Structure 1
């Protein structure tokens, strides 16, 4: 059976500085093969200790049972602050809880139905763009990035990607995505708060330009809300929602922080998963044909059609398993812990890695194989509950998880309804801000014969 590609394994033992260099270049290929079968692994540096935890009950303890005792690590988040400021992605404690109280109502179940028309229009636009490239080899990460950014702006600000501000954010973000490593030196060396952080000049400049464009979008929307002319989209919902405990709303600066993470999380993660899903469909044409047949129900904009895209949902979920867009999450324990009879000191870094957990050889049947049918097996159902966390889990689960599980299968099905994809060069997964291909994902696009 053809297996999806895995990143190359590194030697099990490397020096701290070798590991730091590998980690900076690519977080995935820095990981030794033994971590795919370990329940827990310890990594020591002169400054702190970190622990990779794959054992489901330990993951549950950290993410679900006691999230306040295991806040997000500020070390890892340092690298994202030029763009994200104090967004909900990087904050902890009472600040984070206040932000979620304001944000969560915008993503409640009923809102998915309200945003579906915008997703539908974005999927139609994505198909139309591909129609101009029939017969060509296409770099599909660029196409899925375009489509996912279009979804974000249509649902958040009721603007298509062609709007000059939306396009400006999208184009500037493409430069930022490749310039920003997932970790900077603060992840390895504890720096005092007064010391300037070391960011590449182009990274800081790109982040500043993105935030300036988002500020203009946000201020324009605030003016429309004041005038009573704002559309009823996600931005309006969030900006007009008051914290039920304090009555406060987001300031313009706070809203810019949140829009930045909505764009990063909602655009980057969806684009990554869609691109890998298309690659897998090219690799497994029998599944591609199944999804194309199923997609014939996509005739008119009707939210009810999503209940009929069952195979597409299974394929998208399997893609999230094999290529989780956020490969690692880092927490920090606030108090001494004991895990697998090890004493874990206060302040240690706890790494929860969907990349390893989703391919763990002691949990999953055929962990490296592509098998969308696994979700209907006993092993698949058990692992979905205990070892499948593409959107994190517990209190900090991504508020847009339900959003992504509508958007992804819809766009995937819409593309495959009309087009066939065939494989090009084998892509190599690497981690930038999300799991991408080292040199892009190149597929040939042809028109599907019905």
Structure 2
């Protein structure tokens, strides 16, 4: 196909603040002007604070890599997620965050990824077995969400998605995702953290239910650890890892916070990435055949993942075009200067993978689906300076390596014996909720793959 994959229509360059806030509340992507796809920096003013969206690779490196402590995560964004995530590693800053990463990071080191692979592969096989290949349009985001949730439960708690508690958590997370916008109105209200915040009743109820279920799983696992019967999975690894500086482990409430973000980050983002990848492959049958050819040779062994080179590049291209987390927000800890412009303490620094990944002064053919780009000089350059689906620097997602293995493995499982095709008149429109999803879902037809 020669037409480009869909992206949201940009708003006019100039709109009133209140119209912008209404658009932002509805969808963060379509609320932004088209000029952000070519701008190195843009300033936004509100009555309460100023924001600076930065696409300049040098500024991004300053914020994320060379001076990350000067640009902690913004509490304006954290406020909207705190009822579910509490003080998880996704929201904290400073010494608390560093302590949490010292305990969490060892679970996602290279050797541990090999240990989690059987759970990922089993979830992929189970997901492929559940597919209904009857050539009728099916909502792919729901299918991808089910598979991604299965991956998390198998690798974190050694439970398949069919487990009763796992099913309850999965359904509650689906309710939460639908009720929680990417940015709560609290982000626009100045004041200290104790000031009342406004959340939808359904959002609060889902968050409370999720945390209660995770608490049950956490307490049960602690009892198994004490009895010496716990499986050697991610939950056991994290709950038994001591902070090398203090010798402490996570308390129950701290572990509940971490499990909530593992599920939110590992489930929501993976489901988004998988669904958009399948959609892109349905649009590009020649690439789908290349992935299927690799999948046919894949024996399901961890060491064989390196052979899935085309599948990896296809997945990376989907992450570029549809990054699951479209925007990240930091806060200036002290006054500074960006591109000869004064940035005051407290200013919000917005890093947008959505705009950076499609920046027309950085990428060749920025809106096109071209997995070959990763072998080009432009692609090799941009992957170092303009590609950050998992953030970058010290705050890079600890599960970034896990996510890449998961995406490639699931694609190989799904494409091995199935074909995905576009239905008529069902073009998805990307919108940002907690992750980049489609406004009315992603619909595809699935048929058995004929092997010759």
TM-score (norm 2): 0.98
Q: Which residue of 1 aligns with 2:401?
A: 402
Aligned 8 A contact 1:273 1:319 in 2: yes
CA distance in 1, matches of 2:85, 2:428: 29
CA distance in 1, matches of 2:357, 2:194: 39
Q: CA deviation at 1:74?
A: 0.2
* Alignment coverage as a number of residue pairs: 448
CA distance in 2, matches of 1:310, 1:115: 21
CA distance in 1, matches of 2:322, 2:368: 12
1:144-293 paired onto structure 2 within 5 Å:
144-293=144-293
CA distance in 2, matches of 1:64, 1:90: 18
CA distance in 2, matches of 1:126, 1:193: 42
Deviation per CA, 1:319-372, whole angstroms, max 9, x where unpaired? Answer: 000000000000001111111110001110000000000000000000000000
3-state SS of the aligned residue for 1:359? coil
TM-score (norm 1): 0.99
Aligned 8 A contact 1:77 1:90 in 2: yes
Aligned 8 A contact 2:133 2:448 in 1: no
CA distance in 2, matches of 1:240, 1:99: 13
1:26-41 paired onto structure 2 within 5 Å:
26-41=27-42
Aligned 8 A contact 2:71 2:330 in 1: yes
Q: Which residue of 1 aligns with 2:318?
A: 319
Q: CA deviation at 1:297?
A: 1.6
Q: CA deviation at 1:417?
A: 1.1
3-state SS of the aligned residue for 2:190? coil
CA distance in 1, matches of 2:365, 2:35: 17
3-state SS of the aligned residue for 1:42? strand
3-state SS of the aligned residue for 2:204? helix
CA distance in 2, matches of 1:289, 1:439: 27
Q: Which residue of 1 aligns with 2:94?
A: 93
Q: Which residue of 2 aligns with 1:118?
A: 119
Q: CA deviation at 1:133?
A: 4.0
Aligned 8 A contact 2:335 2:343 in 1: yes
3-state SS of the aligned residue for 1:43? strand
3-state SS of the aligned residue for 1:51? strand
Q: Which residue of 2 aligns with 1:309?
A: 308
Deviation per CA, 1:356-412, whole angstroms, max 9, x where unpaired? Answer: 000000000000000001011110000000000000000000000000010101111
3-state SS of the aligned residue for 2:197? coil
**Aligned alpha-carbon RMSD (Å):** 0.8
CA distance in 2, matches of 1:321, 1:135: 29
CA distance in 1, matches of 2:241, 2:153: 19
1:39-58 paired onto structure 2 within 5 Å:
39-58=40-59
Aligned 8 A contact 1:243 1:249 in 2: yes
Q: Give unpaired runs (5+ residues) of structure 1.
A: none
3-state SS of the aligned residue for 2:326? coil
Aligned 8 A contact 1:297 1:305 in 2: no
Q: CA deviation at 1:193?
A: 2.8
Aligned 8 A contact 2:73 2:330 in 1: yes
Aligned 8 A contact 1:20 1:188 in 2: no
Aligned 8 A contact 2:311 2:411 in 1: yes
CA distance in 1, matches of 2:438, 2:150: 21
